[in-house]
Amino acid sequence: MMGNLRRRFPGRVGPAGPLLLGLALLLPAGAGCQPEARSATSAIRAEEFDGQRAMEWLKRQVDAGPRVPGSEAHAATRRILTEALGPDTQVQEFTHRTRQGTIPMANLIARFGPTTGERILLCAHWDCRPFCDQDPDPAKRDQPVPGANDGASGVAVLLELARLFRKTPPPVGVTIVLFDGEDWGRTLDTMFLGSRYFAAHPVGGPFRYGILLDMVGDADLQIYRERHSQQRAPAIVDRVWAAAAELGYEEFRPSIGYTIEDDHIPLLDKGIPVIDVIDFDYPPWHTTQDLPDKCSARSLKVVGDVVRQVVYTDPPAD
C-alpha cells in the first residue's frame, strides 16, 4: 500500500489520483445478493478477541527487525509467522527479479473452519518497506521502515483471529493470507507483489468475499470507507461497517475518506470482492517513526472485534 502522491487527509485521493471506476459492482455471480448475516445474539459463542495479545504479536514482529525481503529479519519473521498460523500453514514461494538479483518472497496461507463451499479471505501484508521515503529527515530515507502499523498491525489482528478460529471453528471456511512484497518498490508496478502472485495463483478458495487489513493499529484510530472498495464491493463494505455499528465502534466512520492502491486491487481485478480496511491518516507512514508506541491494543481490538463479528455471524456455506 502506498503511492508517491498519496495524502494523509480524509477525502483526498491516492497515488493514481481520483480513479473514478464507475459504480458497477464487480462481484462474482450472486455475490451482491447474499443472505443477511445472523444477529449477534445467534452468533457462535467464540472467545473474545484479545487486543493485548495482538499487541504483543505486533511488537514481536518489530523486535525481529524490518521485514525487508531478502534480509535475515525477513527470514526469521517468516518462521515466526508460519509457526503462529499453525502446523498446516502453506508457504507460497515466488521470486521478484531486480537489477541487483532475484529476491525470494513468500505468501503465508492458513485455512480454518469448514473445508467445503465458498470461503472468506482475510489478508494483510507482512513485509516492510526497504526505505523511509516519507521521513522528514533526508538522512534517514534510505533506512527500512520499522513497520509497526504499516504491516505488523494487520498481521497481529489476523494472528489473534487465527487463535480464535482454532479454538472455535467459524461457521464458514476462512482462509488467512499474509502477503509478501506489498511495500517493495518505488512505483506501483513494483508493489503488491504477493497479492498479484496470489491473484494469479489462488489457493484456499473459492472466495465469497475478502477483507484486507492494513494500518489498523494507529492509537488514534479513524477508519473511513475506501473508495475502490465502496465502488467495487459495496455490499462487503456495508457488512463490515454494520458490524462495527452493532458493536458501537465509532472508529469506523461512515463516509469515504481515501482512494488507496493496495493489495485488494489485484484481487478485485480477478473478480474477488475484497475491501480495504485502512486508517491512512497516520503521520509516521513510511518513516522511521512507525513504531509500536504509535499503536495501541485498543485499536487492534476494535478491528479484531469487527472482523470476528463478521466471520462468526456469516451464513454457513451451502
Q: CATH number for the domain including 58?
A: 3.40.630.10
What pLDDT does 43 receive?
A: 52
Using DSSP, state whether 31 is helix, strand or coil.
Answer: helix
Please state, in angstroms and rounded to a whole number, the distance separating the CA atoms of residues 67 and 152.
10
Q: Give me 301's grid cell.
A: 481490538
* CA distance linking residue 250 with residue 304, whole number of Å: 14
Q: Is residue 15 part of a domain?
A: no
This prediction's pTM: 0.87
Number of domains in the chain: 1
Residue segments in the chain with a per-residue pLDDT below the cut of 70: 1-44, 316-318
The parent domain of residue 165 ranges over 31-312
In a domain, 118, yes or no: yes
Among candidates 8, 304, 314, which has minimal Cα distance to 134?
Answer: 8
Residue 318 lies in a domain: no
Beta bridge partners, 176, equal: 110, 122
Q: What confidence tens digit (pLDDT) does each residue in 72-111 have?
A: 999 999 999 999 999 999 999 999 998 878 999 999 999 9
In what helix (H) or strand (E) does residue 229 lie, and over which residues does it extend? helix 227-232
Q: Would residue 63 count as lying in a domain? A: yes
Q: What's the pLDDT at 39?
A: 41
- Residue 45 confidence (pLDDT): 78
The answer to whether residue 22 sits within a structural domain is no
Q: What is the pLDDT of residue 316?
A: 65
Which residues make beta-bridge pairs with 101? Answer: 98
pLDDT (0 to 100) of residue 134 = 97
Provide the pLDDT for residue 314: 85
Contact partners, residue 26, CB within 8 Å, separation at least 6: 232, 233, 268, 271, 273
User: Which pLDDT does position 98 carry in this prediction?
Assistant: 85
pLDDT at 1: 56
Rg (CA), the chain: 18
